[in-house]
Each structure stands twice: as structure tokens, then as C-alpha cells.
Amino acid sequence: MAVARLPPLPTIREIIRLYGLRAEKHLAQNFLLDLKLTDKIVRQAGNLQGAHVCEVGPGPGGITRSIINQGVQDLLVIEKDTRFIPSLEMLTEATEGRVRVACDDILRVNLADAFPHHIKRDWKDDPPNLHIVGNLPFNVSLPLMLRWLESVADRTGPFSFGRTRMLLTFQKEVAERLTAPPGDDQRSRLSIMAQHLCQVKQCFVIPGAAFVPKPQIDVGVVHLTPLRDPEIDAPFKLVEKLVRSVFHFRKKYCKRGVETLFPVERQDLTQEVFDTSGVDPTQRPVWLTMEEFNALCMSYKNIIQRIPAMFHYNYR
């Protein structure tokens, strides 16, 4: 099947001038104007011919154009900023309806009903022909990523269709945290939460100079594919609470973080966690492997099953 490319349209620079657009600092907006670079980003998603795609935060539509030129069947763009809607609707007309434009906040959107149900795949099968792509504003990237990871665990939202793949941009530091191995200085709560649920790959780094306006930092392009089986067999909120507690004291022994899961008068439970998991309590959090986090979570899970009230204990 031939790829249906866009007809001649105003360039992104011309669109910005035509509609008087500018990146708003309070929204952490930065534009990509080089279509060769946006093409390179979109290629990291794999073959998009005939695919269904959700693009988050398209702005003036640079990455949007590159997605369309890959021959997608259906592209839903979700943009909160009303200033960009007219230029995006121009793409709807140019593609004879293959582009759907939604003016909404992605943090409030449920994507479970946004695509046809026939594209659904069983979780153990190959991923569905559905992709999420986004040059995310820096101020929403972390909360949105954590929300999507919880949806991966629960198999809800875009992951109700199966193991939907994601191609996203983050501040370079966040991208490094997503992919950091044990022992890396960037190893963090985000590393564990992402890697226990997804195969995470940092594709390449975009220099800040490529954006308009130029941010003070570089940007990492990250591809995530949900795993068939999570590395940690425990509920998302339980894993998140234990991992967050451990990394809260990242420079100390991991025992210090586990201690905060229990009241002072029940520190026998801290000892039980390490006795039953076999994890060295003097290990630093950044050096803990996924297998060790799994062991800690299993021990904590067993305690919670025996004493449910302990899960609701909050340090300080």
C-alpha cells in the first residue's frame, strides 16, 4: 500500500507566524521545527503504516506531520492549548479525516474508548497496532508517566488494548532515570517503576539547541514496551510505596527506607522483611537489583496480607 503523504502545506515556521503562536514558558512548551529531526523521532516508534496513534501535546504539529507521513490509518492528537487547534484542524482537512483533534488535558483523558475495539490484543500476544507518541511538556511528563505506568499495571486506559507501545520525550535527566541500571547515579524510584513493567530504551538525545525557544537542558527520546509479565508480582501501589520509601533515603542503607514503612513500635517487621527477602540491609538503594526489589516487595506483601492496617501507615 502506498503511503499517503501530506499535500503541500505551510511550514511549521509559517504556521507559527500565521497564527501568532509562541511557546509559553509557564506551560513548559518548546517547539521542534526541523522536520528531519521529527522524522527521526517518529521512526523510533517502528512501522506506523496502517497504525492507530495517539499524539500527546502536538503543539503546532511538527511531529504530527511526521506521523502522518508514515502512513497511519488514524491519528488522535490531544492538545490542551486552544491556540494550536486551528493549525491542527488544517491537518484534519489535509488528510481527509485521518487526523482527529481533541482539545483536552491528557491527565483527564481516558483513552480506553478512543480507538476501535477490533485492534485489541491479548496481553500475552504481540502489542496492538496502537502507539502513543508525545513531545511532552516538562511540567507534566513525570506525573503523566507514573499515571501511564499504573495503567500498564492495571491494563486500563490505552493499555486496555494490550501492550500499547509509547515513544516519548523527557528532560535528559528524566530519560536517564527511566533507563538507569543498578549502580547508576540516576537510579531512582522512576527506574524501578518503569523497568519492572516495561522494556525501556533511550533512543537518542536531542540537544536543547534544536528547540524553539531553546531550553536550558537536552532532551531524551525514550521508547517503552510493556512486558508480558511484570518483574515484581505485586500491586502497583504497594510496589510504589516500598520503592518510594527506599529511595527517600537514597544515600543511606536501604534498611532506613524500609523502617519508615512501619511504626516505631513494630520495627520487628523491618527485620522480618530482610530476614525473609534475603536482601542485605546495608545495601545502598541505587545498587539494589530488580530481583532484590521483587524480594523486598514480596516480603512486604506477605506482611500486609497478614496485617492489612500496616499498608495505611504513613511515616511522619
Type of residue at 300: Y
Q: How confident is the model at residue 8 (pLDDT cuts 50, 70, 90)?
A: low
pTM of the prediction?
A: 0.91
CATH topology for 12-226 is Rossmann fold (3.40.50)
269's grid cell? 517487621
Of residues 214 and 272, more confidence is placed in 272
pLDDT value at position 210? 83
- Cα angle 32-145-200, degrees, rounded to a multiple of 5: 85
Mean pLDDT of 280-286: 98
Distance between CA atoms of 112 and 290, rounded to whole angstroms?
30
Q: What is the pLDDT of residue 174?
A: 95
What would the mean pLDDT of 239-259 be, rounded to a whole number? 97
pLDDT of residue 223: 98
Residues 11-58 pLDDT 10s: 777 777 766 666 555 454 567 778 899 999 999 999 999 999 999 989
Tell whether residue 32 is among the known ligand binding residues: yes
Q: Per DSSP, what are the bridge partners of residue 201?
A: 223
Maximum separation of any 2 CA atoms in the chain, in Å: 71
The C-alpha atoms of residue 32 and residue 212 are separated, in whole angstroms, by 7
Domain ranges of the chain: 12-226, 236-312
Lowest mean pLDDT among 69-83, 132-146, 275-289: 132-146
* Per-residue pLDDT at 203 exceeds 90: yes
Burial class (CB in 10 A: 0-12, 13-18, 19+), 74: buried
Q: What is the mean pLDDT of the chain?
A: 91
Handedness of CA 188, 191, 194, 196 (dihedral sign): negative
Q: What is the pLDDT of residue 4?
A: 59
When the candidates are 1.10.8.100, 3.40.50.1220, 3.50.50.60, 1.20.1560.10, the CATH number that belongs to 236-312 is 1.10.8.100
The backbone torsions φ and ψ at residue 136, rounded to the nearest 5 degrees and listed phi first, read -75, 135
Going from the C-alpha of 254 to that of each of 235, 284, 312, the distances in angstroms are 21, 5, 21
pLDDT band, residue 243 (cuts 50/70/90):
very high
Q: What is the dihedral of CA 53, 227, 240, 301, to 10 degrees?
A: 140
What is the per-residue pLDDT across 154-194, written as a single tens digit (0 to 9) for each?
A: 999 999 999 999 999 999 999 999 999 999 999 999 999 99
Buried b (16+ CB within 10 A) or exposed e, 200-217: bebbeebebebbbeebee
**3-state secondary structure (DSSP) of residue 225:** strand
Task: Give the Cα separation of 307 and 301 in Å (integer).
Answer: 10
Task: Give the C-alpha separation, 280 to 289, whole Å.
Answer: 12
pLDDT at 20: 64
84-129 confidence digits (pLDDT tens): 898 899 888 888 889 999 999 998 888 999 999 999 999 999 999 9
Cα–Cα dist 94/6, whole Å: 7
Phi, psi dihedral angles at 99 (to 5 degrees): -105, 125
In angstroms, rounded to a whole number, what is the distance separating the alpha carbons of residues 153 and 123?
Answer: 11
C-alpha cell at 21: 503562536
Torsion, CA 132, CA 133, CA 134, CA 135, rounded to 10: 160
What is the rounded CA–CA span in Å between residue 236 and residue 194? 11
Is 79 assigned to a binding site? Answer: yes
Q: Is 89 annotated as a binding residue?
A: no
69 annotated to bind ligand: no
* pLDDT for the residue 1: 45
Lowest mean pLDDT among 6-10, 65-69, 142-146, 257-261: 6-10
The predicted model gives 227-242 an average pLDDT of 97
Question: What mean pLDDT do residues 220-228 have?
Answer: 97
Q: State the pLDDT confidence band at 225, using cuts at 50, 70 and 90.
A: very high
CA distance 194 to 175: 11
pLDDT score recorded for residue 217: 84
